[in-house]
Structure 1
Amino acid sequence: MPDLSILSKHIAALIPAAGHTGFPQKLVAMLRELVPVDDASIIFYSETALPVVEYFEVQQETGSSTLDTFVKGAFLLDPYYLSATRDGEFGVFRLRDLSPSGFKDSEYYKTWYRNCGYQDECGFVIPTAEQGFINIALGKTAARATFSKRERRLLQDIYPAVEALCQQHWAQARASEDGVNLRAKLHNALESFGSSLLTERETQVINLVLHGHSTKTVADKLSISMETVKLHRKHAYAKLEVSSQAELFYLFLDSLMSAQDYETGDTLVAYMQPPPKAKS
């Protein structure tokens, strides 16, 4: 069946489904018939609330704990998320086009993408009302599988139709209750992480390391030498009492997820305080 016939058939089913529960499943079914994929997920970000997983296919290596970690804070490091929130870029992207040099060595990549078994990923980043957005992730998990040039072009060609359908479906989605901007708080926590113990430059280096930047790209971004980056990272690791990027990643997540009624500042301030002594 030609691609146009497939697209027409599915759009005819998607239009009346917009605004109803079955829409994400129908949307994935269309994309899967147009471009063979092994895995798919749809994540909705309102303007201020934590992400909502609208569709997710659980792979063998990926459990609910990994997904829970993602929605509670790890998403801050995701290249697709950063494309929308930091860069204001929307469209169809491969992961390799958005991620920094060294990203595959980052603990975030190992925790999320490698656990999903992805060999290649292509995703939609679609703006919605009130500065929210949708991330539709399509993954290939077979050994050495990649999205072909034809498949990538097809996804780009249908982007306007997928965008219009998603905007219609999520048009009534609301921000977090009580006007609390939860995502802004998490952004502040990430930017401030380690600042109570580290110098300003060490904090900058650690933030870039968490985002998956290599020593070279950190040096380029901060206009310092690679040796200086290594020295700042060594000093920061010592002060934070970690010995690897993996330990740094989990220290950030642990301090973030254990923060109670967080408002601003470094989450390590409360995290590293000794527990209160029991009353005798």
Structure 2
Amino acid sequence: MELEWRDLAFHREIGAVIEALDSTQFWTRLTRALERYVPFDNWVALRFAPDEAPLVCAESPTPDGTVDAMFQDYLAALYQLDPFYIDACERPASGFVTLADVAPDNFTMTSYYQRYFKKNIVGDEVHFNYAIDARHTLAFSLGATHRYGERDLAVLALCAPWVIALMRQRLPHETFEASHAPGIDDAGETIEGGAPGAGAGVDAPTYAERFAQVAQAGGHTPLTAREVEVAMLTLSGFSTRAIAEKLSISFETVRAHKKHIYTKLNINSQSELFALFYEAGPRGA
């Protein structure tokens, strides 16, 4: 087998990733190996679990070295609307996942997409997922300001087996504790670690508690469990028909639930519903 110089460089990068498996530079080395072949603009490694805020293993540093406020909002509450988080919690499995694989039918019409995703991720996102067990998933996200092309997705899918295998080998070296935002060490390397407060996953209130807080504060009648479920699916980007299919109820029943939600919370649109959810979380806490 003949190797070109590009192949030799790639093998050196893979060697560096393997060498860093037990070091703080693992995730940075992994991104360097991948970005030789596919351009992306931000990355983060997280652990997902149902009803818990994601725990951060490492993330790409901001250009000015400051804490990313929008990402803190994600960790505080908005993760509950993230299609990658929802899919990993509902169907934990190892593999390469694209936004098209998990995004609901009305995702691009949601306030979450317009007010967070487009501003923070901007164009597209893919995940390498390693299912740790039935509840926990180690997720490595690559975000881009552009849409990934067919070649990009094909290359990343081709890399998935060894990326996920390395993630599995890395797992024993992750502590999943609250830590600091990434900085730069004396050698110019990224110092990896989660954002402040990232270790408080089990203490983070659920969306049901958030809506209860909103209802109580405004003197509204509390939403039922089913109404909360419909509200969150709506905010996540599921159309009325998609919600009906997901919950195995009729289209008209979903419409009735939405009417009750809007009446109880004294709102008239999905954007107002998002505002209530958002203000009860990171901005309104």
Normalising by structure 2, what TM-score?
0.73
Taking the aligned partners of 1:164 and 1:24, their CA distance within structure 2 comes to 13
CA RMSD of aligned residues (A): 3.4
1:12 equivalent to 2:21? Answer no
Q: How far off its partner does 1:12 sit?
A: 0.8
Taking the aligned partners of 1:21 and 1:129, their CA distance within structure 2 comes to 24
1:233 equivalent to 2:258? Answer yes
* Contact 2:42–2:144 (Cα < 8 Å) also in 1: no
Taking the aligned partners of 1:224 and 1:63, their CA distance within structure 2 comes to 43
Which of the residues 103, 110, 125 maps onto 1:106? 110
Q: How far off its partner does 1:109 sit?
A: 1.8
Taking the aligned partners of 2:68 and 2:22, their CA distance within structure 1 comes to 26
Taking the aligned partners of 1:2 and 1:81, their CA distance within structure 2 comes to 39
* Contact 1:202–1:236 (Cα < 8 Å) also in 2: yes
Q: How far off its partner does 1:87 sit?
A: 0.7
Q: How far off its partner does 1:84 sit?
A: 2.1
What SS does structure 2 have at the residue aligned with 1:121? strand
Q: Which residue of 2 aligns with 1:124?
A: 128
What SS does structure 2 have at the residue aligned with 1:171? helix
1:89 equivalent to 2:114? Answer no
Q: How far off its partner does 1:167 sit?
A: 2.7
Greater mean alpha carbon deviation, residues 92-101 or residues 160-169: 160-169
Q: Which residue of 2 aligns with 1:265?
A: none
* Contact 2:230–2:257 (Cα < 8 Å) also in 1: yes
Q: How far off its partner does 1:66 sit?
A: 1.0
Q: Which residue of 2 aligns with 1:190?
A: 207
Q: Structure 1: where are the runs of 5+ without partners?
A: 260-270, 272-280
1:36 equivalent to 2:53? Answer no
Greater mean alpha carbon deviation, residues 241-250 or residues 1-10: 1-10
Q: Which residue of 1 aligns with 2:277?
A: 252
1:27 equivalent to 2:37? Answer no
AA in 2 matched with 1:159 = A
Normalising by structure 1, what TM-score?
0.74
AA in 2 matched with 1:162 = V
Taking the aligned partners of 1:30 and 1:41, their CA distance within structure 2 comes to 13
Q: Which residue of 2 aligns with 1:263?
A: none
Task: Write the deviation string for residues 13-72 of structure 1: whole angstroms up to 9, x where unpaired.
Answer: 1112122222222111111112123x1212321766642161225489x98221111111
* Contact 1:101–1:212 (Cα < 8 Å) also in 2: yes
Which of the residues 134, 141, 145 maps onto 2:138? 134
AA in 2 matched with 1:45 = R
Taking the aligned partners of 1:108 and 1:211, their CA distance within structure 2 comes to 7
Q: Structure 2: where are the runs of 5+ without partners?
A: 179-198, 213-220
Taking the aligned partners of 1:129 and 1:19, their CA distance within structure 2 comes to 21
Taking the aligned partners of 2:124 and 2:48, their CA distance within structure 1 comes to 27
* Contact 1:92–1:123 (Cα < 8 Å) also in 2: yes
Which of the residues 219, 229, 232 maps onto 1:204? 229
